């Protein structure tokens, strides 16, 4: 078995510097960790691709759906993706998991810790942001699904988690 690459070790160091406990999956270039976000519990994987000098951050949460609600959930994610510049939402049909994935190519074998941290924060924030919208879709009664305006739903700001530090600014 090959030792972990310099790339995944730099990711592990960046996680440690942020105080994020993680587990290196033996024999793979993957780190696994968990986060408690505002709306949901997030499982996060960081996978290095040493040959490409790239890193993918994948954030996931359980989101079971039934046959009636699934098309509306998938449309919600497609509409959510239209507003993204980096990364994208997915739905793992087999495992019934809501997913956000972001990938970056690095110039050096030792990945930049600030970029890694930003990728992790982005993945957590985006998955946490979309979760209440997805839950709303999944809890909408079947007879009202066709009346649900997904574009308007995505404009609701009351679901957006507070930005850390902004709670102090509230009156």
* CATH number of the domain bearing residue 102: 3.30.1460.10
| Residue 164 located in a structural domain | no
Q: Which of 118, 121, 114 is nearest to 38 (CA)?
A: 121
Tens digits of pLDDT across the chain (171 residues): 788 999 999 999 999 999 999 999 999 999 999 999 999 999 999 999 999 999 999 999 999 999 999 999 999 999 999 999 999 999 999 999 999 999 999 998 889 999 999 999 999 999 999 999 999 999 999 999 999 999 999 999 888 877 666 555 444
* Domain count across the chain: 1
Q: Is residue 168 part of a domain?
A: no
Q: Is residue 28 part of a domain?
A: yes
Per the domain annotation, does 108 fall within a domain? yes
163 assigned to some structural domain: no
Under a CB-based contact definition with an 8 Å cutoff, are residues 123 and 102 in contact?
Answer: yes
Quick check: is 169 in a domain?
A: no
How many Å apart are CA 55 and CA 103, to the nearest integer? 6
- The pLDDT assigned to 66 comes to 97
Q: Does residue 166 lie in a domain region?
A: no
Please give the pLDDT value at position 1: 76
| Residue 29 domain boundaries | 6-158
Could you give the C-alpha distances from 65 to 25, 68, 85, 151, in angstroms and in order?
29, 8, 27, 20
pTM of the model: 0.90
Is 152 within the bounds of a domain?
A: yes
d(CA 5, CA 53): 10
């Amino acid at each position: 078995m090959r030792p972990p690459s310099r790339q995944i070790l730099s990711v592990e160091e960046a996680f440690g510097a942020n105080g994020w406990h993680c587990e290196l999956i033996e024999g793979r270039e993957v780190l696994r960790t968990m986060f408690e976000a505002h709306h949901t519990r997030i499982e996060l994987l960081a996978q290095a691709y040493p040959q490409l000098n790239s890193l993918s951050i994948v954030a996931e949460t359980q989101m079971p759906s039934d046959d009636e609600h699934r098309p509306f959930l998938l449309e919600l994610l497609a509409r959510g993706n239209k507003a993204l510049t980096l990364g994208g939402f997915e739905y793992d049909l087999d495992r019934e998991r809501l997913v956000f994935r972001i990938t970056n190519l690095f110039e050096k074998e030792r990945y930049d810790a600030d970029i890694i941290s930003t990728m992790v924060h982005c993945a957590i924030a985006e998955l946490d942001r979309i979760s209440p919208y997805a839950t709303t879709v999944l809890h909408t009664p079947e007879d009202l699904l066709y009346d649900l305006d997904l574009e308007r739903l995505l404009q609701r700001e009351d679901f957006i988690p507070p930005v850390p530090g902004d709670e102090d600014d509230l009156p």
